[in-house]
Amino acid sequence: MSSQTIGHRCSDHGDEEQSHDDLEMMIHNENQKGLRYVIINFTPSWFSATMGTGIVSILLHNLPYNGIWLYWISVVVFAFNVFLFVLFSLISLARYTLFRGLWTAMLNHPTQSLFLGTYPMGLATIINMICFVCVPAWGNWAATLAWTLWWIDAVISLANNMYLPFAMYEPPARSVLRSLDILTLSGSMSRHSNELSGMTAAWLLPVVSTIVAAASGGIVASVLENEQHALWTIIVSYVLWGTGVPLAMMVMVMYFHRLTIHKIPPKEVIVSVFLPLGPLGQGSFGIMQLGKEAMRVFPKTDSLSTEVSAGSILYVMGFIIGLIMWGFGLVWLFFALASITRSKFPFNMGWWGFTFPLGVFTVATTTIAKELPSLFFKVLGTIFSVVVVLLWIVVSVGTLAQTWRRKMFVAPCLKEWEKGEAQRRGKCTRVPEGAL
């Protein structure tokens, strides 16, 4: 034909038209069976289970009143955590590879995107146990492995810490990255609705990731034979600690303001009141561990060489700051316990918010016990450790039971993805009639 009359051809249904709602329902139904259901509903919040499992392995390994049998239990839990982390990573990779646009939908969601911080924090628990268990057993190559993984963890944590909080207040018109379309992060978060009444302590998740990486860096530095490597690990860890703790304090001030104005959160997310224990507990342990390693490494590398050892100053300052942060954590522990006793709350993935924050607060407690030394903190750390292990068992059993009933696979971001996928499939491609 000589004329260029425009025709329509639907990509999936030929000339037959189908309503948007029907397409959306069809897309929803086709992903409700078998392994597809698990994969498409597997959100980043599942990595909170690796955080909780990892901190339990660390507590069992470092329990003040320990024994060889507890050591081997910690090794078993550690191996199980590695299995979970690898499995969850593979499922997540399949999720965002098989379902086009789901990565963007997850980033666009105001809550699910925050849980990206659980990935590096789960990895950090594995790195710590490599230092505790694998390095003594396998030698220097295990230390190199831990150091390599730590650098990867630090980069991911820093990306979470810096970009996600910034994107919460980024105006759409000023998106620098939108023109480059990098991961669609810039456009996604600017569409979030950030109401104070809807704020939860989950806002801390991307911020805490660098604090966890900093604390892990202090542990990694302790097993490195190369003193310069250890020195740079310590310096970078101090920077990571500095990017996380002040920002976490600001978020906690906002969260306290939200609690005073709008009262305690809804029962579905009430467990999130424990999350402030995370930056306080891990920040406390991290600054003490870094001070301890600075005291060991700085004199050997002639760093900040003065008449008075800079490492010793950092060690003493680290302990004082750590003790103050631990005391502040007690306040939030009281707030959290008082909040959850007000009403019953349903079991969901948020219950994993019990384990890691309480666990890192316990690690800070046992560290204070070693540094003083103090029988009081030693006993208190043991009690906290037992409580965390029991909570982990309860939450693990509940998770397995709810997973079997298919009640744990909930993806709030899926609704928007289904709408977008329906629009993509239902969109007609205009072509010249002569090309048909």
Q: How far apart are CA 132 and CA 237, in angstroms?
A: 18
Q: Which of 80-84, 173-177, 295-299 reaches the highest mean pLDDT?
A: 80-84
How many percent of the chain have pLDDT more than 90?
56
Going by C-alpha positions, the residue among 115, 103, 109, 108 that lies closest to residue 47 is 115
pLDDT bucket at 24, cuts 50 / 70 / 90: low
How confident is the model at residue 35, as a pLDDT? 86
Are 266 and 346 within 8 A, CB to CB?
no
pLDDT bucket at 315, cuts 50 / 70 / 90: very high
Domains and CATH numbers, the chain: 30-419 (1.50.10.150)
The reported pTM is 0.86
Q: How far apart are CA 357 and CA 351, in angstroms?
A: 11
Helices (H), 263-374: 277-301, 310-340, 355-371
Rounded to a whole number of angstroms, the CA Rg of the chain reads: 24
- Reduced to 3 states (helix: H, G, I; strand: E, B; else coil), residue 72 is helix
* Weakest-pLDDT range from 143-147, 201-205, 230-234, 283-287: 201-205
How confident is the model at residue 194, as a pLDDT? 65
pLDDT at position 335 over 80: yes
How confident is the model at residue 307, as a pLDDT? 64
How confident is the model at residue 269, as a pLDDT? 78
Give the chain's count of helices (H) and strands (E): 16, 2
- Reduced to 3 states (helix: H, G, I; strand: E, B; else coil), residue 162 is helix
Residue 23 tokens read as 């397409």
pLDDT bucket at 421, cuts 50 / 70 / 90: low
Give the CA angle between residues 286, 386, 400 to the nearest 5°.
100
pLDDT bucket at 165, cuts 50 / 70 / 90: confident
Residue range 43-85, pLDDT digits in tens: 999 999 999 999 999 999 999 888 899 999 999 999 999 999 9
How confident is the model at residue 179, as a pLDDT? 34
Would you list the DSSP string of 279-307? HHHHHHHHHHHHHHHHHHHHHHHTTT--S
How confident is the model at residue 411, as a pLDDT? 82
